[in-house]
């Protein structure tokens, strides 16, 4: 696996695919800079070698048309601030404006190209568009894990124009190694904590990881599909009746492979999907009609704690309760604390996938786990066992 450390960028232009698809407020201020900060080490390595960096990214979903609200010019000052170098901006990513800006770029300088998705050809994976982008650099660096599952022009197609001169940036290399640690090289016992609302969205992940894990902790809304399938009463809890057979099949497969499945035994139930609803702790199999399970109960958390603290490798994907409401966040916070404790004892912990990353940030766990993945969809597809096109293009 070739990384940025395999190259010296002296007098070279690095064409770097970054993921600067960051959230902006109504005044176009960046409200979460973590993706920009994550790309900083890769950019600095190029500059410190004595080269220059041409950055390309998308922002939002402009659907192939220029949209001033989604211009990357809005984030230029923030990128400059974080990198510590005044970043130049090109008003297009291809064509005369881009070519002139690139040719004027000197060693030690950084140029940010305009939003790639202002051109429909980006998402179409167009060859000619990728070729035009390739003219902006001597070496292609992919450091955008968040888009590595897309076969777009800038993430995949462009790589073929750099035979022998393409590599992973630090961030993408770290993502690949972290997933490998969980899926292939992780020290046992390996525990996967899967939460979230639906079994259907996690089926492929569960099927793929059953051969790799020793413990499977199930939490969140998908709990109730498993419980109802086993004959429990789930009241008004979220439940996929059409996935109950599948839930039983998963339990059967897990047993056959020697994987211990930890399902909740008690839950915090509410009489409404509302932070101020009436609540009570009930047995997970005996949720009264008109009530719904919205968080893990104390006995459940005690069981989860033991499994997590005994683990050497931990994957966390999905919250175990409706953490967005303060009264139903205790379970998710507790799981975060157990993972923190296990990590301090030497376990490797990887957090990935939309909601769990949001929870980790909300409750301040990002520095207490080994690694927080930057790519939701890409992370999930990796866990499903798929080879991501953006990664395959560099390895090719």
Q: Summarize pLDDT for 291-304 with one digit per residue, the tens.
A: 999 999 999 999 99
For tokens 């777009």, what's the residue? 152
Inform me whether the pLDDT recorded for 324 exceeds 90: yes
Angle subtended at Cα 325 by Cα 319 and Cα 330, rounded to the nearest 5 degrees: 55
Of 105-114, 131-140, 185-194, 286-295, the range with the lowest mean pLDDT is 185-194
Angle at 189 between CA 184 and CA 195, to 5 degrees: 85
Is 117 labeled as ligand-binding?
yes
Say whether pLDDT at 27 is over 70.
yes
pLDDT digits (tens, 9 = 90+) for 52-107: 999 999 999 999 999 999 999 999 999 999 999 999 999 999 999 999 999 999 99
From 131, 260, 361, 377, the catalytic residue:
377
Q: Is 297 annotated as a binding residue?
A: no
354 is catalytic: yes
pLDDT of residue 261: 97
Q: Annotation-wise, does 365 bind a ligand?
A: no
143 marked as binding residue: no
- pLDDT confidence of residue 354: 63
Q: Per-residue pLDDT averaged across 342-353, rounded?
A: 94
What tokens does 9 get?
């960028």
Q: Determine if residue 71 is labeled as part of a ligand binding site.
A: no
The residue from 198, 233, 260, 305 that is catalytic is 198
The pLDDT value recorded for residue 339 is 97
Strand partners, 54: 15, 111
Clarify whether 17 is annotated catalytic: no
pLDDT band at 117 (very low <50, low <70, confident <90, very high): very high
- pLDDT value at residue 345: 97
Q: What is the 3-state secondary structure (H, E, C) of the chain?
A: CCEHHHCCCCCCEEEEECCCCCCECCCCCECCCHHHHHHHHHHHHHHHHCCEEEEECCCCCCCCCCCHHHCHHHHHHHHHHHHCCCCEEECCCCHHHHHHHHHCCCCCCEEEECCHHHCHHHHHCCHHHHHHHHCCCCEEEECCHHHCCCCCCCCCHHHHHCCCCEEECHHHHHHHHHHHHHHHHCCCCEEEEECCCCCCCCHHHHHHHCCCCCEEEECHHHHHHHHHHCCCEECCCCCCHHHHHHHHHHHHHHHHCCCEEECCCEEEEECCCCCCCCEEEEECCEECCCCEEEEECHHHHHHHHHHHHCCCEEEEECCCCCCCCHHHCHHHHHHHHHHHHHHHCCCEEEECCHHHHHHHHHCCCCCCCCEECCCHHHHHHHHCCCCCHHHHHHHC
Predicted confidence at residue 375, as pLDDT, reads 75
Please classify residue 310 by burial: count the beta carbons closer than 10 Å to its beta carbon, then call 0-12 exposed, 13-18 middle and 19+ buried: middle
Given this model, what pLDDT does residue 355 score?
81
- Mean pLDDT throughout 11-37? 95
Give CATH 3.40.50.1260 domain extents, the chain: 4-173, 186-383
Average pLDDT over residues 234-262: 96
**The domain 4-173: what is its CATH number?**
3.40.50.1260
386 is in an annotated binding site: no
Residue 198 known to be catalytic: yes
First-to-last alpha carbon distance for the chain, in angstroms, is 10
Better-scored residue on pLDDT, 115 or 383: 115
CA distance 337 to 369: 10
- The answer to whether the beta carbons of residues 145 and 172 sit under 8 Å apart is yes
- Tell me which of 2, 177, 354, 386 is the catalytic residue: 354
- Mean pLDDT, the chain, whole residue set: 94
17: annotated binding-site residue?
no
- Please identify which of the residues 12, 13, 35, 228 carries the catalytic annotation: 35
Q: Which residue has the tokens 């379970």?
A: 331
Report whether pLDDT(385) > 90.
no
Report the C-alpha gap between 29 and 32 in whole angstroms: 9
pLDDT-derived band at 216, boundaries 50, 70, 90: very high
- Report percent pLDDT > 70 for the chain: 100
Question: Of 294, 299, 227, 297, which Cα lies nearest the Cα of 261?
Answer: 227
Alpha carbon distance 184, 128 (integer Å): 38
| Tens of pLDDT, residues 252-284 | 999 999 999 999 999 999 999 999 999 999 999
Band of pLDDT at residue 184, cut at 50, 70 and 90: confident
Q: What is the mean pLDDT of residues 367-389?
A: 84
**Residue 186 pLDDT class (50, 70, 90 cuts):** confident
Question: Tell me: domain 186-383, CATH 3.40.50.1260, correct?
Answer: yes
> Residue 353: pLDDT above 80?
no
With 0-12 / 13-18 / 19 or more C-beta atoms within 10 angstroms meaning exposed / middle / buried, residue 128 is exposed
């Amino acid at each position: 696996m070739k990384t940025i450390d395999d190259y010296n960028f002296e007098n070279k232009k690095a064409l770097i695919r970054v993921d600067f698809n960051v959230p902006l407020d109504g005044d176009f201020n960046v409200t979460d800079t973590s993706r920009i900060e994550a790309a900083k080490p890769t950019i600095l390595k190029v500059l410190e070698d004595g080269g220059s960096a041409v950055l390309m990214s998308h922002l939002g979903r402009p659907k192939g048309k220029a949209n001033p609200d989604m211009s990357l010019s809005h984030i230029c000052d923030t990128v400059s601030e974080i990198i510590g170098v005044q970043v130049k901006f090109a008003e297009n990513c291809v064509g005369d404006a881009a070519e002139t800006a690139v040719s004027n770029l000197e060693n030690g300088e950084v140029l940010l190209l305009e939003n790639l998705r202002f051109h429909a050809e980006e998402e179409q994976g167009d060859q000619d568009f990728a070729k035009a982008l390739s003219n902006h650099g001597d070496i292609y660096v992919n450091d955008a894990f968040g888009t590595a599952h897309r076969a777009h022009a800038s993430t995949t197609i462009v790589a073929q124009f750099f035979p022998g001169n393409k590599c992973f940036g630090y961030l993408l290399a770290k993502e690949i190694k972290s997933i490998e640690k969980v899926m292939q090289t992780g020290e046992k016992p390996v525990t996967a904590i899967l939460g979230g609302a639906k079994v259907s969205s996690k089926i492929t992940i569960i099927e793929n990881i059953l051969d790799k894990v020793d413990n499977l902790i199930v939490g969140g809304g998908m709990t109730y599909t498993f419980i109802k399938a086993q004959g429990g009463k789930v009241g008004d809890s979220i439940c996929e009746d059409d996935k109950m057979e599948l839930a039983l099949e998963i339990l059967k497969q897990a047993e056959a492979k020697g994987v211990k499945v930890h399902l909740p035994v008690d839950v915090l139930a509410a009489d409404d999907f509302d932070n101020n609803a009436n609540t009570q702790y009930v047995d997970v199999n005996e949720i009264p009609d008109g009530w719904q399970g919205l968080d893990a109960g104390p006995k459940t958390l005690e069981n989860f704690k033991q499994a997590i603290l005994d683990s050497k490798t931990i994957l966390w994907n999905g919250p175990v309760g409706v953490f967005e409401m303060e009264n139903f966040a205790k379970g998710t916070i507790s799981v975060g604390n157990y993972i923190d404790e296990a990590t301090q004892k030497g376990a490797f912990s990887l957090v990935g996938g939309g909601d769990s990353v949001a929870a980790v940030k909300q409750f301040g766990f990002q520095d207490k786990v080994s690694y927080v993945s930057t790519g939701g969809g890409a992370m999930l597809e990796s866990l499903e066992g798929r080879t991501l096109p953006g990664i395959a293009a560099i390895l090719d």
